């Protein structure tokens, strides 16, 4: 990646206007991603953003950069593959609580095992927004939703605690009501050399009025404001992440800078040039004749 000191927020401006509902937390995450990339001096031509399906992933054409939009819940393997081919690029995967923790769960688990050098920004609004307000694994137990009019019967997943049981190298939590903190967390996540998981507590005013912006504001606190918090202490991070309802910890909850990432562990390629450098121009016109 080449140093570029002239990156501006307008470099990331897309002519496509957002269609999110008024007050949606997606606006804050969208803004924070652009601000973090600008503050890191990364131009749009030197980053890849990967999306799947959902309100969050409708961001794909609202950012002027290289983007890939794939299947619901499958954003992690796409991002990991892009990084494998071109390790000089920062690669950011953007997913939601529905896709990632339903059909995408195996990818989530294996991303920590593999420690792919990518960032996952997880929009957690505790519902499926795009499909009109169904429950996801992070919807609180007992909550009435469009898919569960008598209340969610299952236990609520705690994705942060789950992440902390998977020998992670970076686990953080932000909140769409605190843009400054969110930008800082994004920068740290992008700069981390390994799988960086950033969960963002996000308000969905249309389908989640039980945890609105004021609800979160009354409950979130920053671990970095307590001098005694040690974000290399996995057990402490797990304890703090346990509370999702009363006192909700935000900030870099855990970081291990020593864990080797996936690409450093593959001995037969680690000293080789990136796969992207092997790409050659080929004339396929004869091959195409077969399909005439
Ligand atoms: Fe945002 Fe919810 Fe509207 Fe989707 S449905 S755009 S998540 S407020
Ligand atoms: Mg969601």
pLDDT tens per residue across all 292 residues of the chain: 455 569 999 999 999 999 999 999 999 999 999 999 999 999 999 999 999 999 999 999 999 999 999 999 999 999 999 999 999 999 999 999 999 999 999 999 999 999 999 999 999 999 999 999 999 999 999 999 999 999 999 999 999 999 999 999 999 999 999 999 999 999 999 999 999 999 999 999 999 999 999 999 999 999 999 989 999 999 999 999 999 999 999 999 999 999 999 988 887 777 777 888 888 888 989 999 998 8
Collapsed DSSP state (helix, strand, coil) of residue 146: coil
What would the two tokens of residue 26 be?
């997606």
In a domain, 9, yes or no: no
What would the two tokens of residue 237 be?
């991070």
CATH classification of the domain holding 76: 3.40.50.970
Answer whether 92's CB lies under 8 Å from 118's CB: yes
Q: Dihedrals φ, ψ of 95, to 5°?
A: -140, 175
Q: From the CB of 21, is ligand 1 less than 6 Å away? A: yes
Q: From the CB of 205, is ligand 1 less than 6 Å away? A: yes
Residue nearest to atom 4 of ligand 1 (CA): 129
Dihedral through CA 102, CA 73, CA 108, CA 59, nearest 10? -120
User: Which residue's structure tokens are 């000089």?
Assistant: 88
Which domain covers residue 201, as residue numbers? Answer: 17-289
User: Which residue's structure tokens are 């606190």?
Assistant: 221
Q: From the CB of 30, is ligand 1 less than 6 Å away? A: no
Closest ligand 1 atom, CA of 23? Answer: 8
User: Hey, which of 138, 207, 209 would you mutate to test ligand 1's pocket, going by the most ligand atoms within 8 Å of its Cβ?
Assistant: 207
Angle, helix 75-85 to helix 105-114, in steps of 10 degrees: 30
Could you give the CA distance from residue 26 to residue 195 in angstroms, rounded to a whole number?
Answer: 22
User: Hey, which of 125, 133, 211 would you mutate to test ligand 1's pocket, going by the most ligand atoms within 8 Å of its Cβ?
Assistant: 125
Residue nearest to atom 5 of ligand 1 (CA): 129
Closest ligand 1 atom, CA of 54? Answer: 4
What is the pTM assigned to this prediction?
Answer: 0.94
Could you give the CA distance from residue 119 to residue 112 in angstroms, rounded to a whole number?
Answer: 11
pLDDT at residue 94, rounded to an integer: 98
In a domain, 176, yes or no: yes
pLDDT at residue 4, rounded to an integer: 57
In a domain, 174, yes or no: yes
Residue nearest to atom 2 of ligand 1 (CA): 204
* Listed residue (227, 218, 112, 116) closest to 160, CA to CA: 112
Closest ligand 1 atom, CA of 26? Answer: 1
Task: Please give the distance, rounded to the nearest whole angstrom, from the Cα atom of residue 223 to the centre of ligand 2.
Answer: 25
Q: From the CB of 183, is ligand 1 less than 6 Å away? A: no
In a domain, 1, yes or no: no
Could you give the CA distance from residue 97 to residue 201 in angstroms, rounded to a whole number?
Answer: 10
Answer whether 136's CB lies under 8 Å from 128's CB: yes
Q: From the CB of 18, is ligand 1 less than 6 Å away? A: no
In a domain, 11, yes or no: no
User: Which residue's structure tokens are 């470099």?
Assistant: 11
Q: From the CB of 131, is ligand 1 less than 6 Å away? A: no
Could you give the CA distance from residue 56 to residue 214 in angstroms, rounded to a whole number?
Answer: 21
pLDDT at residue 216, rounded to an integer: 97
Pairing of strands 66-69, 48-51: parallel
Domain count for the chain: 1
């Amino acid at each position: 990646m080449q140093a570029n000191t002239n990156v501006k927020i307008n470099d990331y401006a897309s002519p496509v206007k957002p269609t999110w509902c008024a007050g949606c937390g997606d606006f804050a995450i969208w803004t924070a991603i652009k601000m973090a990339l600008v503050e890191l001096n990364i131009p749009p031509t030197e980053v890849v953003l990967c999306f799947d399906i959902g309100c969050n992933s409708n961001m794909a054409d609202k950012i002027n950069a290289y983007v890939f939009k794939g299947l619901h819940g499958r954003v992690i393997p796409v991002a990991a593959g892009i990084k494998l081919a071109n390790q000089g690029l920062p690669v950011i995967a953007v997913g939601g609580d529905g896709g990632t923790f339903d059909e995408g769960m195996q990818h989530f688990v294996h991303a920590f095992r593999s420690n792919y050098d990518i960032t996952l920004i997880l929009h957690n609004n505790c519902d499926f927004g795009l499909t009109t307000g169904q429950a996801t694994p992070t919807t609180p137990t007992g909550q009435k939703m469009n898919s569960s009019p008598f209340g969610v019967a299952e236990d609520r997943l705690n994705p942060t605690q789950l992440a902390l049981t998977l020998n992670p190298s970076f686990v953080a939590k932000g909140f769409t009501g605190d843009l400054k903190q969110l930008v800082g967390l994004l920068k740290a996540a992008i700069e981390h050399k390994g799988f960086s998981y950033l969960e963002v507590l996000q308000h969905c005013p249309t389908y989640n009025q039980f945890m609105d912006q004021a609800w979160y504001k009354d409950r979130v606190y920053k671990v970095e404001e307590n001098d005694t918090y040690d974000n290399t202490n996995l057990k402490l991070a797990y304890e703090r992440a346990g509370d999702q309802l009363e006192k909700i910890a935000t900030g870099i909850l855990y970081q291990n800078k020593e864990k080797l990432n996936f690409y450093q562990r593959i001995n037969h390629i680690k000293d080789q040039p990136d796969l992207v450098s092997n790409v050659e121009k080929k004339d396929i016109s004869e091959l195409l004749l077969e399909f005439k």
